[in-house]
């Protein structure tokens, strides 16, 4: 075999080895991919089984809850017991001419039976609210399917236009109640406590529905804009006014409650508290003989909106001696001509120099020489020297210099600084 044939044989053998390695690697990779896909498939199946198990557990829990809340599995017992409860409820609430009739019985497979009941009668708006609340608060498998009410043509009692609580309403209410097939034949009566699905008490529900204006936002209480503590001076009459604002601009009435001394009175016409603490300490003592330093009253403000709202807050009244009278004010000094007097010129004559002082407020110019005395506004002095650059003045025994265009009043200021 020649060298060339040997090289060719080696190359062909190497190619076969590479192909075999490639095939083995592809087989391994396919096996790994198949294994991973199988693991993913099993994981998905596990998750689906777990979800189904959880759903089954939830359904079993829900079914158990329905069983507890269900009517009796005996249809006759269920209808009789529920109808009796409805009659007792409308009688307790005070529904007039109340009628409770069963209106249907519909079996749904072998799971449960749905019973229909119709309640009719006459009551006011508060009675209707109480009836609906009583049904919603009873923890049973029932619901209000339909509710109709309108003013009754008979037995209508007129009340205030803003209050509908006293008007008689004709009410027709249709309910559905469910009896589970797996329920007990003689289940215990439901708890008298409201269902956990009810988030408000009966009083709160009444307040929301009855005390509302359907045509405006809810009425807001008045707001107090004054101080919660005031001072009353002894020996003086101290009227106390109360500043209130109402968000709806309704009129506000004010009253006070609580104990206060005999020298305190309430003026109902002006709605002011008049506090007149005496100067005599004996008259300003309480029943125990202690000097009354302060007292507290309750201030209550009510508006005339619908529904009416009120604000209450404590007001503390402290007694003090009156402050001393203010010291008499010193009248401000009059206008000073010295502030508007300027050295306008230094004029040389035949023998000496002359200082020209222009008093602008008087509209005249004083021509002063050495030895001349002057009084301009608040400054009184004497000229002691005049030169081409300055004038020397003697004021209150002190010597000052004033240069051209200088203000007379500035000589004193410059010296003080």
Dist. CA 314–CA 312, nearest whole Å: 7
Query: What's the rounded Cα separation, in Å, for the pair 84 and 100?
Result: 9
Mean pLDDT, all residues of the chain:
84
Cα–Cα distance for residue pair 149/70, rounded to 1 Å: 29
**What would the mean pLDDT of 124-139 be, rounded to a whole number?**
92
* Domains, in order of start, for the chain: 75-188+196-210 (3.30.70.60), 223-320 (2.60.40.10), 337-416 (2.30.30)
Condensed to tens digits (0 to 9), the pLDDT of residues 17-28 reads: 888 888 888 888
pLDDT of residue 242: 87
**Structure tokens belonging to residue 107:** 């079996």
Kind and range of the H or E element at 167?
Answer: none
Of 265, 263, 275, nearest to 238 by C-alpha is 275
CA distance 380 to 396: 8
**Percent of the chain whose predicted confidence (pLDDT) is above 70:** 91
> Of 338, 348, 66, which Cα lies nearest the Cα of 183?
66
pTM: 0.46
Using one digit for the tens of pLDDT, what is the confidence trace for 105-131? 999 988 899 999 999 999 998 899 999
Contact indicator for 354, 417 with CB cutoff of 8 Å: no
Q: What is the pLDDT of residue 66?
A: 85
Average pLDDT over residues 299-304: 90
158 pLDDT higher than 70: no
Region 316-320 average pLDDT: 86
Provide the pLDDT for residue 334: 64
- Judged by DSSP in three states, 175 sits in strand
Q: What is the pLDDT of residues 168-223, one digit of tens each?
A: 899 999 999 999 988 888 888 888 888 888 888 998 888 888 777 666 677 889 99
Question: How far is CA 193 from each of CA 24, 138, 189, 205, rounded to the nearest angstrom?
Answer: 75, 8, 12, 16
Helix (H, G, I), strand (E, B) or coil at 274: strand
């Amino acid at each position: 075999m020649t060298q060339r044939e040997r090289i060719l044989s080696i190359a062909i053998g190497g190619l076969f080895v590479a192909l075999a390695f490639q095939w083995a690697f592809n087989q391994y990779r396919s096996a790994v991919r198949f294994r991973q896909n199988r693991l993913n498939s099993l994981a998905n199946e596990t998750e689906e089984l777990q979800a189904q198990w959880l759903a089954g557990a939830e359904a079993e829990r829900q079914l158990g809850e329905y069983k507890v809340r269900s009517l009796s599995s005996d249809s006759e017992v269920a209808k009789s017991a529920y109808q009796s409860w409805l009659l007792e409820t409308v009688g307790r609430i005070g529904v007039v001419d109340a009628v409770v009739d069963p209106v249907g019985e519909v079996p749904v497979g072998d799971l449960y039976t749905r019973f229909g009941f119709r309640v009719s009668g006459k009551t006011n708006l508060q009675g209707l609210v109480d009836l609906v609340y009583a049904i919603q608060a009873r923890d049973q498998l029932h619901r209000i399917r339909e509710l109709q009410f309108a003013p009754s043509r008979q037995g209508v009692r007129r009340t205030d236009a803003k209050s509908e609580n006293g008007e008689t309403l004709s009410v027709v209410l249709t309910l559905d109640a469910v009896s589970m097939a797996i329920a007990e034949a003689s289940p215990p009566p439901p708890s008298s406590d409201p269902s956990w699905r009810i988030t408000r008490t009966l009083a709160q529900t009444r307040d929301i529905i009855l005390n509302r204006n359907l045509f405006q936002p809810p009425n807001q209480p008045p707001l107090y804009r004054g101080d919660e503590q005031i001072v009353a001076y002894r020996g003086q009459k101290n009227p106390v006014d109360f500043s209130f604002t109402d968000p709806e601009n309704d009129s506000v009435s004010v009253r006070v409650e609580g104990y206060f001394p005999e020298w305190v009175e309430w003026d109902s016409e002006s709605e002011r508290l008049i506090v007149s603490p005496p100067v005599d300490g004996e008259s300003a003592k309480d029943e125990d003989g202690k000097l009354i330093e302060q007292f507290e009253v309750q201030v209550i403000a009510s508006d005339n909106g619908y529904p009416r709202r009120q604000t209450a807050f404590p007001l503390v009244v402290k007694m003090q001696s009156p402050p001393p009278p203010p010291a008499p004010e010193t009248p401000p000094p009059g206008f000073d001509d010295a502030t508007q007097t300027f050295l306008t010129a230094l004029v040389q004559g035949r023998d000496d120099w002359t200082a020209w002082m222009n008093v602008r407020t008087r509209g005249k110019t004083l021509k002063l020489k050495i030895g001349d005395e002057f009084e301009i506004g608040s400054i009184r002095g004497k000229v002691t020297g005049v030169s081409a650059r300055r004038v020397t003045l003697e004021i209150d025994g002190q010597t000052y210099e004033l240069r051209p265009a200088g203000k007379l009043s500035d000589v004193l200021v410059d010296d003080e600084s």
